[in-house]
């Protein structure tokens, strides 16, 4: 029997994580059972246990995957051209999320499930906190640049401003999933933020 390559194993593991993520968006963490993943992935239960020893281990992998996706999207937004301002950063981030979700990966809904479960699970809370700490550092760097440019009050604590901006983004994700599922939004959130940014720019001028 030919030896299975490491690349094939990594791909299969990735597919299982994404399959579990799709089911979690439908049933939540608590109701997820391994049979759901069997049906979603098309892999046998024995095959799944060859990659993950338990449901808990698989769920932890889903969480790391989702939080990693959000970090990648944030980094893409930060690297967009022209370089985003503090006011335009989340317009850029929301655009990245929207494009990402067009591929069928409902990262917003998964994030809500994760945040909710983190209130009950200490280990999960630690994973989420670590991810948010990374995001705070990235956004804080944008705030510091804005302070150097005279756009943001130099006396403001960059991490506190970053926390506020991240809270805005998380709140929007919840609002979007709760209010916009099944109906088109009246106006694109990213567009609304861009308009707000224009208003702030005019006010500064």
Q: What is the pLDDT of residue 205?
A: 41
**DSSP of 79-143:** T-SSPP-HHHHHHHHHHHHHHHHTTT--HHHHHHHHHHHHTT-HHHHHHHHHHHHHHHHHHHHHH
Q: Which residues of 102-112 are buried (b: 16+ CB within 10 A; e: fewer)?
A: eeebbbbbbbb
pLDDT tens digits for range 137-147: 988 888 888 88
Q: If the chain, 205 residues long, is cut into consecutive pieces of 10 residues, what is the mean pLDDT of each piece?
A: 76 90 86 90 90 88 84 79 73 78 79 88 87 89 85 88 88 81 43 43 38
Q: According to the model, what pLDDT value does residue 196 have?
A: 42
| The predicted structure's pLDDT at residue 16 | 92
- pLDDT, residue 4, reads 66
Q: Which residues of 124-144 are buried (b: 16+ CB within 10 A; e: fewer)?
A: beebbeebbebbbebbbebbb
Q: What is the reported pTM?
A: 0.69
In the chain the domains, ranked by start, together with CATH numbers, are: 56-204 (1.10.357.10)
CA end-to-end span of the chain, whole Å? 71
| Angle of the 122-148 helix axis to the 107-118 helix axis, nearest 10 | 120
Q: How high is the pLDDT of residue 108?
A: 85
């Amino acid at each position: 029997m030919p030896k299975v390559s490491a690349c094939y194993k990594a791909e299969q593991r990735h597919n299982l994580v994404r399959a579990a993520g799709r089911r979690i968006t439908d049933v939540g963490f608590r109701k997820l059972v391994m049979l759901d993943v069997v049906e979603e992935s098309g892999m046998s239960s024995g095959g799944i246990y060859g990659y993950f020893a338990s449901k808990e281990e698989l769920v932890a992998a889903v969480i790391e995957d989702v939080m990693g996706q959000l970090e990648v999207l944030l980094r893409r937004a930060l690297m967009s051209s022209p370089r985003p301002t503090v006011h335009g950063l989340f317009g850029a981030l929301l655009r990245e999320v929207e494009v990402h979700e067009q591929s069928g990966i409902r990262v917003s809904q998964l994030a809500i499930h994760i945040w909710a479960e983190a209130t009950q699970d200490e280990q999960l809370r630690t994973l989420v906190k670590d991810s948010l700490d990374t995001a705070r550092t990235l956004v804080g760097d944008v705030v510091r640049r804005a302070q150097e440019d005279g756009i943001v009050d130099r006396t403001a604590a960059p991490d506190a401003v970053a926390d506020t901006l991240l809270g805005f983004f998380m709140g929007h994700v919840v609002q979007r999933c709760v209010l916009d599922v099944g109906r088109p939004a009246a106006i694109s959130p990213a567009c609304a933020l861009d308009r707000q940014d224009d208003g702030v720019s005019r006010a500064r001028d």
